[in-house]
């Protein structure tokens, strides 16, 4: 900022200043021609005063008086006499607002400058808009800024961010080879490097290149090898590697990769569920059932995971445990039948996007602060919606806007100024539009959940049909005297075996303890002939 402003101040200082009248001279009232000349002089004087004010505003900016400079520049930007200087004024106003951490208001100034197509300041405004959009995390502004970027015009210190954001756009547009190339351009020293590697692997998986994706995630994991085991980038790389191995259909390697996810991370629960699918595909039924004991414990009762119950019933089907199948299918219907009904009723009775947003906002408050809110939809549904990527990003953007509003409200003098009121108006409009957009996202996710539950109920019907057939065959075998004895695996192994190997072994009796979650081992035998 201080390197740019001396040139701008010098430029403004070169503008003609007010030509003050010499002492002793008086105005003469003679001919109409003289009156016209006086009017022209007054116009020139007013223009010179404005340019003098501009010089003062630039000096204030240079000296670090950002608030004073911003207020002056905001006033000057509206003057028609300074139309030629407006791109410069709006650009510097935007940089002042960035210094004041009012990025949303700054973004509007840069957008105005870009639309003016100024040969110098429009390019610089694109660069600044990219920075504030990245800080705010607003997809709309990001897409507007990044789509106008010429990488050749961007300073080296910003190129990694631009490559990363352009890669995101290509990934969303399903242009996977271009996305991979852009993510590959992000340097190892960049703060975007690990996220770029993650998204590069994701684009490779979307392009059905799991073997290449495995190498990408192994590279990411190796780069974080010295980080703590709970390091977010390290855990994300481990989970992504497990998913890539699953897509590659390397079930055993996938199971092992999932087992490396630490229990005290937010991703562990997802890892346990996804590992259960790999165990089913690898025919490791006892291991899968051990996982389900954890997944369906009371500690995870506010998680939306209807698929896990059906998967558990399928595992019981494979080992002919029909009574257990009946219990799980009944639990599925008891839990998700009302959920399905409430989602359908809410979608039928609600049309306004703001109503959808209001419902998810109450759940957001319940999740973070207020536990007393009354909800029309089950909390497990709204919690699942809040965890969706688009909703999460938009809620984060709303938090940024709320922080800016709080910053303006805390400065009473600035709030009372024309620029302060302008900032509050921008923030209010952006907040309203973002809430409407979130409402539309919530509605879309609820529609998807309704379709998903409908499909899962159909699958539950097929599974129940297979259960009935299995029971019928089991009864025939009992009549024929071919019934399988009921026992447990390892039932003859002495408990001392587990103690010697660092374990305590005791039967689960229906009460969950946090330190036991993840340590359950199913010992039942399969009952198939």
**370 — pLDDT class (breaks 50, 70, 90):** low
Output the average pLDDT for the chain: 83
pLDDT above 70 coverage of the chain, percent? 81
The string over 241-262, giving b where at least 16 C-beta atoms fall within 10 Å of a residue's C-beta and e elsewhere, is bbbbbbbbebbebbbebbeebe
Q: Which pLDDT score, from 0 to 100, does residue 94 have?
A: 95
Helix pair angle (418-479, 389-410), 10° resolution: 150
Judge if 55-154 and 209-296 fold alike in CATH terms. yes
Listed range (12-21, 281-290, 382-391, 497-506) with the worst mean pLDDT: 12-21
Among 3-17, 63-77, 220-234, 323-337, the range scoring the smallest mean pLDDT is: 3-17
If residue 252 lies in a helix (H) or strand (E), which one and from where to where?
helix 251-258
Q: Look up the CATH number of domain 55-154.
A: 1.25.40.10
Distance CA(519)–CA(473), nearest Å, equals 34
Q: What is the pLDDT of residue 199?
A: 96
Quick one: average pLDDT of 213-221?
A: 95
Mean pLDDT of 9-17: 38
Least confident of 163-167, 398-402, 511-515: 511-515
Measured between alpha carbons, how far is residue 375 from residues 192, 299, 357, 383 in Å? 38, 21, 12, 12
Alpha carbon of residue 241 to chain centroid:
21
**What is the number of other CB atoms lying within 10 angstroms of the CB of residue 390?**
16
How does pLDDT run across 431-483, given as a tens digit for each residue? Answer: 999 999 999 999 999 999 999 999 999 999 999 999 998 888 877 777 776 65
Q: Would you state the pLDDT for residue 497?
A: 52
**pLDDT score for 6:** 40
Q: What CA–CA distance (Å, rounded) separates 105 from 421?
A: 11
What pLDDT band is residue 525 in, cutting at 50, 70 and 90?
low
Q: What is the pLDDT of residue 154?
A: 77
Among 109-118, 135-144, 353-362, 453-462, name the one with the lowest average pLDDT: 135-144
Q: Which CATH superfamily is domain 209-296 in?
A: Tetratricopeptide repeat domain (1.25.40.10)
Q: What is the pLDDT of residue 72?
A: 93
Write 133-138 long-range contacts (CB < 8 A, 24+): 133/107, 134/161, 134/165, 135/103, 135/400, 136/103, 136/104, 136/107, 136/397, 136/400, 137/393, 137/396, 137/397, 137/400, 138/397, 138/430, 138/434
| DSSP H helices in 100-231 | 103-116, 121-136, 139-146, 156-172, 176-184, 193-206, 210-223
Amino acid 447: pLDDT: 97
Helix (H) or strand (E) holding 421: helix 418-479
Q: Report the pLDDT averaged over residues 414-422.
A: 96
Q: Which SS3 state, helix, strand or coil, does residue 408 take?
A: helix
What pLDDT digit, counting tens, does each position of 175-199 carry? 999 999 999 999 999 999 999 999 9
* Helix, strand or coil, per DSSP, at residue 193: helix
Asked whether the predicted pLDDT for residue 10 surpasses 80, the reply is: no
DSSP letter for each residue of 271-340:
HHHHHHHHHHHTT-HHHHHHHHHHHTSGGGTTS--HHHHHHHHHHHHHTT-HHHHHHHHHHHHHHHHHHH
**pLDDT-based confidence at residue 145 (cuts at 50, 70, 90):** confident
Measured distance CA(180)–CA(203) in Å, rounded = 6
Confidence band of 250 (pLDDT split at 50, 70, 90):
very high
Radius of gyration of the chain (CA): 33
Query: Does pTM surpass 0.85?
Result: no
Distance between CA atoms of 507 and 92, rounded to whole angstroms?
71
Q: Which of the residue ranges 14-18, 36-40, 104-108, 495-499 would you say has the lowest mean pLDDT?
A: 14-18
Q: What is the pLDDT of residue 158?
A: 82
Nearest to 518 by CA among 509, 529, 508, 528: 508
Question: Considering only 9-23, 303-317, 329-343, which range has the smallest mean pLDDT?
Answer: 9-23
pLDDT at site 153: 73
Q: Among 480, 485, 481, 465, which residue's Cα sits nearest to residue 526?
A: 485
Per-residue pLDDT averaged across 260-271, rounded?
Answer: 90
Please state the domain extents for the chain: 55-154, 209-296, 331-457
Q: What is the pLDDT of residue 300?
A: 74
Residue 47 is predicted with a pLDDT of: 73
Q: Structure tokens of 47?
A: 């223009």
Quote the pLDDT of residue 308.
92
Residues 223-236 have a mean pLDDT of 91
pLDDT digits (tens, 9 = 90+) for 485-511: 554 444 554 555 555 555 555 455 455
List, in order, residues 6 or more apart from 501 with CB less than 8 Å away: none
């Amino acid at each position: 900022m201080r390197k740019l402003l001396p040139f701008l101040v010098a430029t403004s200082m070169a503008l003609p200043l007010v030509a003050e009248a010499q002492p002793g001279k008086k105005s003469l009232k003679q001919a109409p021609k003289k009156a016209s000349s006086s009017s022209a002089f007054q116009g020139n004087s007013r223009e010179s005063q404005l340019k003098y004010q501009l010089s003062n505003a630039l000096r204030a900016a240079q000296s670090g008086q950002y608030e004073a400079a911003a207020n002056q520049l905001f006033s000057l930007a509206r003057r028609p006499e300074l139309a030629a200087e407006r791109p410069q004024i709006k650009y510097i106003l935007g940089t002042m607002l960035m210094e004041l951490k009012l990025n949303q208001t700054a973004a509007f100034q840069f957008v105005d400058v870009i639309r003016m197509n100024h040969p110098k300041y429009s390019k610089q405004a694109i660069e600044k808009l990219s920075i504030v959009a990245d800080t705010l995390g607003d997809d709309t502004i990001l897409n507007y800024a990044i789509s106008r970027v010429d990488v050749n015009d961007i300073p080296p210190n910003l190129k990694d961010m631009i490559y990363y954001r352009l890669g995101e756009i290509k990934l969303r547009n399903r242009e996977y080879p271009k996305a991979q190339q852009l993510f590959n351009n992000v340097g190892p020293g960049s703060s975007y490097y690990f996220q770029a590697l993650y998204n590069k692997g994701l684009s490779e998986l979307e392009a059905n290149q799991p073997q290449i994706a495995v190498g990408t995630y192994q590279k990411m994991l190796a780069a974080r090898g010295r980080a703590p085991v709970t390091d977010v980038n390290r855990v994300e790389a481990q989970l992504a590697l497990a998913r890539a191995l699953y897509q590659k259909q390397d079930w055993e390697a996938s199971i092992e990769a999932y087992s490396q996810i630490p229990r005290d991370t937010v991703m562990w629960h997802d890892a346990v569920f996804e590992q259960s699918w790999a165990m089913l595909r690898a025919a490791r039924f006892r291991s899968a059932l051990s996982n389900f004991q954890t997944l369906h414990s009371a500690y995870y009762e506010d998680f939306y995971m209807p698929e896990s119950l059906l998967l558990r019933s399928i595992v019981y089907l494979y080992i002919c445990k029909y009574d257990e199948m009946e219990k799980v299918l009944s639990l599925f219907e008891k839990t998700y039948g009302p959920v399905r009904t409430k989602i359908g009723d809410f979608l039928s009775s609600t049309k306004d996007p703001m109503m959808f947003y209001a419902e998810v906002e109450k759940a957001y408050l319940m999740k973070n602060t207020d536990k007393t809110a009354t909800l029309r939809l089950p909390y497990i549904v709204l919690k699942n919606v809040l965890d969706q990527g688009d909703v999460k990003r938009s809620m984060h953007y709303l938090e940024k806007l709320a922080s800016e509003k709080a910053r303006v409200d805390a400065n009473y003098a600035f709030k009372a100024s024309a620029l302060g009121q302008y900032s509050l108006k921008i923030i209010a409009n952006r907040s309203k539009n973002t809430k409407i957009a979130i409402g539309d996202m919530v509605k879309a996710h609820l529609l998807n959940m309704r379709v998903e539950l409908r499909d899962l109920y159909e699958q539950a019907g097929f599974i129940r049909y297979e259960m009935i057939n299995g029971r019928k065959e089991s009864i025939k075998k009992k009549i024929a005297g071919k019934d399988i004895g009921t026992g447990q695996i390892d039932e003859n192994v002495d408990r001392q075996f587990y103690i010697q190997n660092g374990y305590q072994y005791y039967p689960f009796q229906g009460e969950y303890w946090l330190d036991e979650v993840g340590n359950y081992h199913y010992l039942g035998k399969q009952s198939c002939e």
